[in-house]
Amino acid sequence: MTASRQDARPIGVFDSGVGGLTVLAELHRRLPAETMIYLGDNARTPYGPRPAEEVRRFTLEAVEWLMDQDVKLLVLACNTATARALDAVRAQVSVPVVGVVRPGAVAAAAATRSRQVGVMATAGTVESGAYPAAILEADASASVFQLACPELVPMVEAGIVDGRRAESVLRAYLDPMLEAEPTLDTLLLGCTHYPLLREPISRIVGEGVAVVDSAFTTALAVEDLLDALGARSGPGSLPSHRVATTGDVAAFVTVARRVFGDGLPEVEEASIEAIGALPVD
């Protein structure tokens, strides 16, 4: 029997801002021995309203920064980046790449009983059609209703994740979806920023609607892939995590502490140079 290989290199995690920290938190819980490097492109968030070509270019630039850190695996913890740039990233890098769309879609298909699934996402993710395609691949009998929510990412990045302002904005999006026929029984949070709004979202939709996101299932997918590749860090590994942002560090920390509390690593500022030579289509 061949001994399993070990790979102590870090896992790279990318998001357009702070939302991917919800995925990072699940990765920490599932894979406590693994070192993680997180990059949030807060200087250019939100990605959702941007043209697809620009999202691909920004994502490739951020991925290049993470590849320079000698990562063994990449997680695109941004739904818009996954929907718009996953294939381009896989064509550009030499390490495995996991996106968040398919794991989230599988979770939604597994949760629904009525086969009526609502998806809240950025405008770019909705336009891409990535979630309906992935949900129908998991369950061909499902019906998928998408809703673009352009105000939510800026709201989360500003630290507004509960209270009257958050509830008012969320109700304006959710009430028409909840009142439509047929009635949905599952709501997929199709942006990794949105789990930071889970409490008010759950209050609004009520107990009859399952609220699911891709963080847990993405962490499972990463764990399974590491095992398949024999690429876990060895026993007794002492992980050394890094968190970086292209934006304002203090503003990033204010929101990030809601996810990690005192366990948040020191946040560093990252500078991403434009990489004009990289393909964008």
Candidate list 55, 60, 63, 78, residue with the active-site label: 78
Lowest average pLDDT, out of 110-119, 213-222, 269-278, goes to 269-278
Residue type, 269: E
Q: Which CATH architecture has domain 11-100+216-269?
A: 3-Layer(aba) Sandwich (3.40)
Bridge partner list, 192: none
pLDDT band at 22 (very low <50, low <70, confident <90, very high): very high
**What ranges do the domains of the chain cover?**
11-100+216-269, 102-214
Q: How many CA atoms lie within 13 A of 111 on its CB side?
A: 24
CA gap 146, 134 in Å, rounded: 13
> Does residue 10 sit in helix, strand or coil?
coil
Query: What was the pLDDT predicted at 156?
Result: 94
Candidate list 60, 75, 148, 191, residue with the active-site label: 191
Task: Check for a shared fold between 11-100+216-269 and 102-214.
Answer: yes
The domain over range 102-214 is classified in CATH as 3.40.50.1860: yes
pLDDT band at 2 (very low <50, low <70, confident <90, very high): very low
Query: What was the pLDDT predicted at 274?
Result: 56
For the stretch 130-166, pLDDT in tens is 999 999 999 999 999 999 999 999 999 999 999 999 9
Radius of gyration of the chain (CA): 18
Query: What was the pLDDT predicted at 276?
Result: 42
Q: What is the DSSP letter of 248?
A: -
The answer to whether residue 78 is catalytic is yes
For the chain, give the percent of residues with pLDDT over 70: 95
pLDDT at 95 > cutoff 80: yes
Q: How far is CA 27 from CA 21, 23, 48, 94, in A?
A: 9, 6, 24, 21
Rounded to the nearest 10 degrees, the angle between the axes of helix 215-229 and helix 21-30 is: 50
Other C-beta atoms within 10 Å of 5: how many? 10
pLDDT band at 217 (very low <50, low <70, confident <90, very high): very high
